[in-house]
């Protein structure tokens, strides 16, 4: 099994998987501007096993993405084995991340994601992770919440370490909390103190100042940023610069993102980019005017001109 050499560095800045946002164009951008590791959007292992065409496309990475992990959701060990065999064949993929954090109702009903942290699922979860580590030719990591409705993070983290997991990403909420309340960094700190593998802190990290506080308080090896990067992928550049970036740098990131959207989706990328453009425009002068114009155009050159105009220094 190959080691991930970047894990020896500190601090680490990871992009957390986020459905509908962290596609290949977005990941390409954050990787270019300072992100240390990227993950695919969460992919159901059953869909990989049955070689679903849409899923195949979701697994593709940008040449910039290294290291790059595929994040899988598992509720069936036999299908997981088939999925891992497929991933094992792909040299460009550097590892597999197991999702134990997804809180949505569909995941709960289907028996994957955060619901596996329930006590009644502990032995099934042990079998999943044990099998995954044994059959994967690549490093295995886990992204977990603190628990389902009660906190079990330290217990599960120790179990994962014993089973051979390479590193953990811990979101400081239970599944039941969804995204309500504040991330609990005390519990992430306890995980860091109780295992010897790298722990990445996740939850409510929206700028360099917050990242620095979380790193110092928890002792984590790094931070993973999801919602904090939407409309603000330059957050990784700020992490590396250790402070806010200029409007000109923001414009460079936005244009890069738009170009990556066109490269990946073709002309339809203009329409798909609208939700990102709306997020980018928060706080800029004449933001509503910018959004209105973006919503009306399907011309890629006009979009570039609008970005140049409204994000001018």
Query: How long a stretch of residues is the chain?
Result: 313
Name every residue whose Cβ is closer than 8 Å to that of residue 188 and which is 6 or more positions away in sequence. 153, 170, 172, 199, 201, 203, 214, 218, 220
Helix/strand/coil for 260: helix
**Strand pairing class (43-44; 222-225):** unpaired
Helix/strand/coil for 274: helix
Region for residue 243 given its phi and psi (left: phi exceeds 0; alpha: psi -120 to 50; beta: otherwise): left
Write down the catalytic residue from 47, 48, 102, 225.
102
Residue of 191, 202, 190, 193 lying closest to 227 (CA atoms): 202
Helix/strand/coil for 225: strand
How big is the chain by its Cα radius of gyration, in Å? 19
Q: Is the peptide bond before 111 cis (omega within 30 degrees of 0)?
A: no
Alpha-carbon span 183 to 50, nearest angstrom: 36
Q: Is 102 a catalytic residue?
A: yes
Supply the residues annotated as catalytic. 102
């Amino acid at each position: 099994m190959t080691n991930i050499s970047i894990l020896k560095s500190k601090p680490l800045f990871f992009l957390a998987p986020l459905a509908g946002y962290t596609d290949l164009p977005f990941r390409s951008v954050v990787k270019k501007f300072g992100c240390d590791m990227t993950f695919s959007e969460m992919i159901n292992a059953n869909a990989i096993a049955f070689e679903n065409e849409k899923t195949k496309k979701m697994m593709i990475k940008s040449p910039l993405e290294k290291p790059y992990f595929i994040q899988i959701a598992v509720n069936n060990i036999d299908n997981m084995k088939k999925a891992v065999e497929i991933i094992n064949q792909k040299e460009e993929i550097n590892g597999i991340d197991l999702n134990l954090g997804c809180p949505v109702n569909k995941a709960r009903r289907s028996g994957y994601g955060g619901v596996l942290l329930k006590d009644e699922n502990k032995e099934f979860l042990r079998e999943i992770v044990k099998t995954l580590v044994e059959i994967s030719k690549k490093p295995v990591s886990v992204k977990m919440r603190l628990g389902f409705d009660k906190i079990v993070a330290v217990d599960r983290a120790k179990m994962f370490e014993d089973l051979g997991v390479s590193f953990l990403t811990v979101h400081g909420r239970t599944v039941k909390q969804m995204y309500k309340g504040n991330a609990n960094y005390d519990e992430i700190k306890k995980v860091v103190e109780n295992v010897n593998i790298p722990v990445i802190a996740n939850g409510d990290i929206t700028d360099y100042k917050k990242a620095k506080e979380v790193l110092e308080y928890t002792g984590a090896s790094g931070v993973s940023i999801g919602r904090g990067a939407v409309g603000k992928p330059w957050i990784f550049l700020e992490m590396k610069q250790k402070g806010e970036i200029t409007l000109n740098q923001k414009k460079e990131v936005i244009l890069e993102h738009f170009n990556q959207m066109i490269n990946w989706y073709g002309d339809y990328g203009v329409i798909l980019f609208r939700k990102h453009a709306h997020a980018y425009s928060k706080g800029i002068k004449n933001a509503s005017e910018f959004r209105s114009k973006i919503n009306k155009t399907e011309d890629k050159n006009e979009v570039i001109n609008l970005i140049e105009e409204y994000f001018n220094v």
